[in-house]
Amino acid sequence: MDYDVIYIGSGNASWQGGRFLRKAGLKVLIVEESLYGGTCANRGCNSKAIVDAPYEIKALGDNFEGIGKSGEFDVDWTELMKYKRQRIAGMSIFLDGKFKEYGLDVAHGKGVILDEHTVQVGEDTFTTEKIVICTGLKPVIPDIPGKEYLHDSNDFLDIDALPKHAIIIGAGFVGMEFASILGEAGLEADVIIRGDMALKYFHQPYVQNVIEILKKKNIRFHFGQSVKEIISNVEIDNPEAKVSNIENAMNSDEYLRDPDTKIDNMAYENGFTVNCDSGLSITGDYVIAAIGRTANVEDIGLENVGLTYTSKGIKVNDHLQTDVKNIYASGDVADTGIAKLVTVAIHQSKYLAKELLGKADAITYPAIPAVAYTIPRIATVGVPAYVGEKSDEYDVHTIRYGRSYSAVLKNDMTSEAKVIVDKDLQIVGAEIYSPEAENVVNMFAFIINKKISLEELDHMIYAFPSSSSVCLYKLHKIHYKF
């Protein structure tokens, strides 16, 4: 055999564990047809964090309106996008260097499974004892008339200029986070939702808080709507408009400042109309498909080894093993029933390294924190509040630490947590609504996973002022019942 393990895909689901296998003496090959590092490094988490941060700062600054704020904090999207592209361009290069440092071999091209022990990459074939599929997910583009006019999250996170009026189909992580950016940018958007709720895995009263904030910023929400078609008004009303608009763009100040700026046909005022089955019709200049992601497994040879899959991915057992005993799946492409997050992919990859070395029992998962990076943030970990509210096993306590400590929380009055405890007053879950929810939820994840008691928390000393310290202090009301 050429290798002990071949990973198809180079994201966190592969190399995080692959480096440990190499350190143990196994020969490891990573196959990648695109940029090293996969979605999170190049098209997802990192890109979103860069473009979101200035708008997060703008929102925090608005807390001081009338009490010290002077002037406006304006975000220059063009300069921000230049910076984003520079930073992201270095990620794949950086990871290429890390792979070499770890002693991991890399084959660049599409990996196709020929049989249980053979992977083809271009004109080369490699044999291996074990195969790990780590190809992740890809955005869903609905099969409707006009689907060619839809843009996905990859497109939006690399757009040259923000649309004046976006139409967002879907209200999960992607749809709501993009809506927050557009709202803070002072632009318009319509969000179309098939069901009756946004961010359905998060505490709905907190989601509603975000929706009400966005409504005040010209973001409109349409629930119970199913999109049936997208029409290009540019091509219908004036077939020559596309050429004219591109010529105008090439004469714009933005293009003259930077001839490398992408020229596309996205920012036409009233360029597209989205029609719904109900008769709702919305016109805007950019349409985003944010209805979810599906398994990225087309044309990788699953049929050659008898593996099947659904939109949720490839079914695996509690050892991340597929129906073919020497083929495994890790990360988002694995259908485990667990949240598809980069943190989970890293956990699975490290577990699988132990499994392939024969040192692991069935995989287990700690309480997993998840964050919607809206403005403000919403986070959840452990037992959800809606479960606690309906069960005799739990009690749910509301901790309004923003109202009590706004003076030391950057004048934020709204930060709040729902803390779920069992009958022994052990914290088992938390929902957080706060500009710093991503940090506070990590604190609760530690408390839940380590089963730290309220009494132990009360005995500790924390850095003050901080969101975590004031939230922890307010837990006294549970411990002391006052």
Residue ending a domain, choose from 289, 320, 342 = 289
Per-residue model confidence (pLDDT) at position 235 = 64
Q: Does residue 392 sit in the same domain as residue 459?
A: yes
Asked if the model's pLDDT at residue 241 lies above 60, the reply is no
In this prediction, residue 1 has a pLDDT band, given cuts at 50, 70 and 90, of: confident
Tokens of 435: 């500009």
Mean of all residue pLDDT scores within the chain: 93
Instruction: State in Å, rounded, how far the first CA of the chain is from the last one.
Output: 67
Structural domain includes residue 370: no
Residue 319 placed within a domain: yes
pLDDT at 245 over 60: no
Last residue of a domain, one of 356, 387, 403: 356
Q: Which CATH number characterizes residue 387's domain?
A: 3.30.390.30
Render pLDDT for 284-340 as a digit per residue (tens, 0 to 9): 999 999 999 999 999 999 999 999 999 999 999 999 999 999 999 999 999 999 999
Check whether residue 333 and residue 226 sit in a common domain.
Answer: no
Q: Three-state secondary structure along the chain?
A: CCEEEEEECCCHHHHHHHHHHHHCCCCEEEEECCCCCHHHHHCCHHHHHHHHHHHHHHHHHHCCCCCCCCCCCCCCHHHHHHHHHHHHHHHHHHHHHHHHHHCCEEEECCEEEEECCEEEECCEEEEEEEEEECCCEEECCCCCCCHHHEECHHHHCCCCCCCCEEEEECCCHHHHHHHHHHHHCCCEEEEECCCCCCCCCCCHHHHHHHHHHHHCCCEEEECCCCEEEEEEHHHHHCCCHHHHHHHHHHCCHHHHHCCCCCCCCCCCCCCEEEEECCCCEEEECEEEECCCEEECCCCCCHHHHCCCCECCEEECCCCCECCCCCEEECHHHEECCCCCCHHHHHHHHHHHHHHHCCCCCCCCCCCCCEEECCCCEEEEEECCHHHHHHCCCEEEEEECHHHHHHHHCCCCCCCEEEEEEECCCCEEEEEEEECCHHHHHHHHHHHHHHCCCHHHHHHCCCCCCCHHHHHHHHCHHHHCCC
The predicted structure's pLDDT at residue 479: 77
In contact, 114 and 269? CB cutoff 8 Å: no
Residues 127 and 156 in one domain: no
Query: Nearest 5°: CA angle at 327, between 321 and 333?
Result: 70
Q: Quick one: average pLDDT of 68-77?
A: 94
8 with 97, same domain: the answer is yes
174 is in which domain, residue-wise?
147-289
